[in-house]
Chain A
Amino acid sequence: MSAQDQIITKGSSRPARLQVDPDTIGDDDKPPQSGTVFNIWFLKWSGGDSSRKNFTKSKFRVNIKKDVGYTKASGQSPICLFFARGCCYLGKKCKYLHRLPTENDYFPPTQDCFGRDKTADYKDDMDGVGSFNRVNRTLYVGGLHSKDNMENVLTKHFQEFGSIEKIRVLYNKGCAFVTYRLEAEAQFAKEAMNAQSLDDDEVLNVKWASEDPNPEAQRQEQQRRENDAMKMVQNLLSDVPKGGSRKRKQVEGQAQEEAKKAKSQHVPKQITQSDSHHTNENSFFSKASLDALKAARMNPSKPSVATKAKKLPIVNYSSDDDD
């Protein structure tokens, strides 16, 4: 998988463009005053009249076509947050990816595509990194100037960052909901389009959407989740035969020496009772069904790992065996 990613990143033959010249960055990055006290940790003004809080338009904006390129990042790295905001001054020296998230990328569910930790709940204003308890592919876009064909305008600006599944505009409220196909695309678009403007000089306010109260939409979401679960179970059942590669690790490896020895001899030295239930892990499938599943295997994920597991006899040792 990492090799494949590398091809994707290295496939773009150009180096990532410098989005901002480091020399032009001023020493003082205070935004225009909108409060009484400046919080140096959050680079924000606080206090004062919150209704007067002016949303200043961002000075930078990512241009995917121009800015994508290879960096020093490897396939597993997260995506560069500053690249998404259009202000990475490191260019090809950046340690993070300068490209869009794709379907094949793996981001742990506890982090977003920029490698930031998610929290259990959303912030009260639905801004920020988001929650790990819900897969949210929908963004709230506020601050629209209502025109007749907002769907088209939003499509034009938001499809740059991924496949749009649905756009719903609330004309009387001046806001819209944009649903992407992937969660990572929504995460990227949220950073890329926040404090940007569409065709006019409005300043968008992009946040996470809360759950759609429309029963039809909820039914669709449920349907989608069930389909995903179905697909996943199919994959899982077709992958089960490669089990038995279970291993145990300890913080203080008491069995280091023994294990080393065993490894060098390529012989599992300690086969004890505790192994038995690991090794016959797949025996609960009837043989016929296993064969059927094998035949119907949709995509054998991680073939490299599977072959590796076959070649190397895995040493099963657990804490019970050491004493």
Chain B
Amino acid sequence: MSNQVGDEFPALCEKCLGDDQHLKMMKHANGDECKICTRPFTVFRWKINDGQSKFRKTVICVTCARARNSCQSCMLDINYMIPLDLRDTALKMAGIEGFTSSKYISNSTNREVKAIMADKQETEFRNIETDSQADRAKAMLEKLARKFEDNASALVKKPSRNDHIDKEALKQLKSAEIKKLVRELPFNGKIEIPEVETPATSFFIFGFPQDMPQYSLSDYCKKFGKLKLLNIVQRARCGFVSFTTSKAAQEFARSIINNGLNKNASRPGLLILEQKYPLRVSWSDRKSLGHTNEEHHKLSLICTRVMKQLAGQEKKTEAVTRNSSKPKSSGSQTAPSSNQDKATTATYNSSKLDFEL
């Protein structure tokens, strides 16, 4: 009896079935083609009491749903109601073999191939009971939970910044190539507020990581006033932002000077967004940032270099003002890369004259 019920009853999640104890469904044998495997399947339509007048229906066949352990209607995981790709990512991170073993996922766009693949699945998944599947899911979560408890921190991969590659690329970069691009850009601008009243409203922003979302910058800037312009090129790691009023712009500058990270206002001011995106800000009018991939890539290298140089300078001045014989704190943090840093700083200093107007 249970076998028959398994055949007849669609694989649906609790959310799709709603809160009511009883439910009327309409069954339409071979009513539609499965959206994944293109074979005809029995469609169920029902309505639940959630204030929405729309009918729900099954969109994929039972076989496809069971192979993925998903709901036939919403295609979320049938036990935990989570998106399948996130579930599989989580399982992969924990090193557990997921439901969707790769042999059942066909990347083919051919309808016949899809159907044949599904037929092969059919034999394996026909006799799987929903209960045993729930057990399987439970076991999997159990494993995941154990893994999670053991090493929650180990599962989160540290963002691997490929700095060494950048450094090699930096060395190869000839100053003549970048001269033209960088001549206009104010990498050695300042953040201090001019004493004379100026109508300046715009800033040059550089050095942020390539994965910084634009909205985190624009949301931050909007706190000071309306933006007139936001021209961010993530690949080049630099951009321009300008406010509609000079008052807002000055407030923005003042907040950066006073954020405790900047001692010298005659240099580009450091700002750290959301505690993970460091960037430098200096007053400047909008200039061209180049149009091609190559130009953007070179600009991003320059940005890396300038960021390092500025950090190095700040460390130096800090050491000088402290007058300490042993630069302990600065040495401990960046001990392995200090040699490289010096080298890049030296090269930057030698080519610095090129950058200045």
Contacts and interface: CB of A to CB of B under 8 A. Distances in A.
A315 B27 CA distance: 26
Contacts of A210: none
A253 B156 CA distance: 47
Contacts of A168: 234-235
Contact of B82 (A117, A223, A232, A240): A232
Contact of A172 (B51, B109, B292): B292
A263 B21 CA distance: 9
A249 B17 contact: yes
Interface stretch (A40-48, A59-67, A72-80): A72-80
A151 B231 contact: yes
A284 B2 contact: no
A75 B23 CA distance: 22
B149 A289 contact: yes
B138 A281 contact: yes
Interface stretch (B68-76, B180-188, B302-310, B319-327): B68-76
A74 B90 contact: no
B35 A166 contact: no
A120 interface: yes
A230 B156 contact: yes
A252 B314 CA distance: 76
A284 B235 CA distance: 47
A120 B233 CA distance: 33
Chain B interface size band reads 35 or more
B51 A74 contact: yes
A159 to B, nearest CB: 7
A77 B54 CA distance: 9
B27 A251 contact: yes
Interface string B39-71: 000001000001111100001000000000000
Contacts of B239: 151
A236 interface: yes
Interface string B138-170: 100110110011000001110100000000000
A76 B50 contact: yes
A284 B145 CA distance: 9
A256 B50 contact: no
B330 interface: no
Contact of A110 (B14, B59, B210): B59
Interface in A188-246: 216, 220, 223, 225-230, 232-233, 236-237, 240, 245-246
B22 interface: yes
B258 interface: no
Find the residue from B2, B218, B234 having the highest chain A CB count within 10 A: B234
Interface in B1-32: 1-2, 5, 8-9, 14, 17, 21-23, 25, 27
A225 B85 contact: yes
A167 B233 CA distance: 7
Contact of B8 (A110, A230, A240, A251): A251
A256 B21 CA distance: 9
B63 to A, nearest CB: 14
A219 to B, nearest CB: 8
Contacts of A28: none
Interface in B224-259: 229-235, 239
Interface string A268-283: 0000001001000100
B87 interface: yes
B214 A165 contact: yes
B357 interface: no
Contact of B90 (A148, A233, A246): A233
Interface string B87-109: 10110010000000000000001
A155 interface: yes
Interface string B243-278: 000000000000000000000000000000000000
A25 B353 CA distance: 66
B86 A225 contact: yes
B87 A152 contact: no
Given A110-B73, A225-B85, A226-B93, A149 B229 contact: yes
A76 B75 contact: no
B233 A230 contact: no
B22 A253 contact: yes
Contacts of B86: 225, 228-229, 232
A291 to B, nearest CB: 12
Interface string A114-155: 010101110000000000101100000000000011011001
A257 to B, nearest CB: 11
Nearest to B159: A223
Given A76-B50, A115-B54, A165-B214, A225 B89 contact: yes
Contacts of B27: 251
Nearest to A146: B291
B149 A108 contact: no
A159 B89 contact: no
Contact of A226 (B8, B36, B54, B157): B157
A262 B35 CA distance: 40
11 contacts: A110-B74, A164-B214, A216-B210, A223-B159, A226-B156, A237-B148, A249-B17, A250-B5, A253-B23, A285-B145, A320-B1
Given A117-B59, A233-B144, A253-B23, 8 more contacts: A108-B76, A163-B219, A165-B214, A225-B85, A233-B148, A236-B82, A249-B21, A289-B145
Interface of B: 1-2, 5, 8-9, 14, 17, 21-23, 25, 27, 35-36, 44, 50-54, 59, 73-76, 80, 82-83, 85-87, 89-90, 93, 109, 131, 134-135, 138, 141-142, 144-145, 148-149, 155-157, 159, 210-211, 213-215, 218-219, 229-235, 239, 286, 288, 291-292
Interface of A: 2, 74-77, 95, 108-110, 115, 117, 119-121, 132, 134-135, 148-149, 151-152, 155-156, 159, 163-168, 171-172, 181, 216, 220, 223, 225-230, 232-233, 236-237, 240, 245-247, 249-251, 253, 256, 259, 263, 274, 277, 281, 284-285, 289, 315, 318-320, 323
- Lowest 5 CB-CB distances: which A-B pairs, in order? A163-B215, A229-B90, A171-B291, A165-B213, A229-B89
